[in-house]
Amino acid sequence: MADDFFAPTQWIELDPSALAHNARVFRSALAPTTRLLGVVKANAYGHGLEVVAPEIAKHVDWLGVHSATEARALREIGTALPILVMGYVPPVDLRDLDSGIHLLVSSPTALKWVADYRDRSGVSLPVHIKVDTGAKRQGVPEGAIGDMARTAGRYRLEVVGVATHFANIEDTLEHQFARTQLERFQHAVAEATSVLGVEPPFIHAACSAASLLFRQTDFTLVRVGISLYGHWPSRETKLSWILEHGRGGVELQPVLSWRAQVGQLQPVGKGESVGYGRTWTALRDTVLAVIPVGYADGYPRALGNRSRVAIRGCAAPVVGRVCMNIMMADVTDIPGVEIGDRVTLLGADGGATVTAEDLAALCGSINYEVLARLSPEIPRRLAS
């Protein structure tokens, strides 16, 4: 039974030692002149911005977010590091930003907005020009980088960076397209440097996968997201590493564990059905643990009758449909389960482990989505 009478029905534990380990993995691979940026967008990949960002800040040189709102949140919790805002920032979001917040800009229009903000506020935000080298998302075409640099000059903006993002470095064992993107990017950097008269100090292209696989993508700044939290970007990335380097060398440690309590023990007789739609029928007399967690909390509905949780160090299959706020697990073969016992939805418990990769594979998704969809309402705390 739970030791703490006032324990929450569910919570997320974050392991700072795992986070420090993962940061060392990347830091040790980088040249001393290359800066490390920790990406904390999307509530720090579901880990909880307010709790985990101060820990990440101990191990990186920069923090990266998607929105100006996230940048302001980092400042409110006392983060002093430089921040790169990597997403679209319309004029309405250009407020209360300090000169340590850098913007990744993808159009002449965005440059004009930054100049207007400076004229109104007196704060000049450094800009990084985003180059589209093949992802066809944000960014100006490679051939337009010179015009962007000249436009920034006319607006008297400080261009401190040039950046791109790889389209297909995670999902394949064949990386020719990434090499093509890298070549295009190098041409764009050269053109920007020619127009500006000096190479911007922050040249960056590498995500987690690129930094793991290709040192030539490091340049002067590396953006690490999913792997800082202890996860390989994909099975293909891990296999690419193994094919090149063997099985040793990189061990990432997941930072996050998701826990809950057994809320009720429900006896089910042989032949009785369980849950909405009666999608599971007991083949024997069964005991179910009713767990107060559901898809509203971020546990995918698609995992009904497919996944497992860990209770008392043993795996317990999830049965019936995952409901909005409730799910059920078969604990018939786990002796001594009681109301209040800890349930591990993600993480390790004795001899049983459930990973984000396990859940993603079962519901046809990726580990990023499993983590990022964890409800911000779930209490987060650092593991002791």
Q: What is the pLDDT of residues 12-24, one digit of tens each?
A: 999 999 999 999 9
pLDDT in tens, 49-63: 999 999 999 999 999
Domain-embedded: residue 51 = yes
Last residue of a domain, one of 245, 277, 295: 245
- Nearest CA to 200 among 127, 97, 306, 106? 127
> Catalytic one among 238, 276, 299, 368?
276
pLDDT in tens, 165-179: 999 998 899 999 999
Specify whether 229 is located in the same domain as 306.
no
- Say yes or no to pLDDT of 34 above 90: yes
What pTM was computed for the model?
A: 0.95
Domain-embedded: residue 1 = no
- Say yes or no to pLDDT of 3 above 80: no
Last residue of a domain, one of 222, 245, 268: 245
For residue 1, name the pLDDT band (cuts at 50, 70, 90): very low
CATH code assigned at 279: 2.40.37.10
Specify whether 196 is located in the same domain as 298.
no
pLDDT in tens, 230-287: 999 999 999 998 998 888 778 999 999 999 999 999 999 999 999 999 999 999 999 9
The pLDDT of residue 244 is 87
- Say yes or no to pLDDT of 5 above 70: no
The pLDDT of residue 33 is 95
Active site residue 58: no
CATH code assigned at 161: 3.20.20.10
> Catalytic one among 41, 117, 229, 368?
41
For residue 72, name the pLDDT band (cuts at 50, 70, 90): very high
- Say yes or no to pLDDT of 2 above 70: no
Active site residue 112: no
* CB-CB contact of 344 with 318 (8 Å): no
Average pLDDT over residues 376-384: 95
Among the residue ranges 51-65, 110-124, 215-229, 242-256, the one predicted with the least confidence is 242-256
**Average pLDDT of the chain, as a whole number:** 96
Specify whether 171 is located in the same domain as 60.
yes
Specify whether 37 is located in the same domain as 74.
yes
Q: Domain range holding 148?
A: 16-245
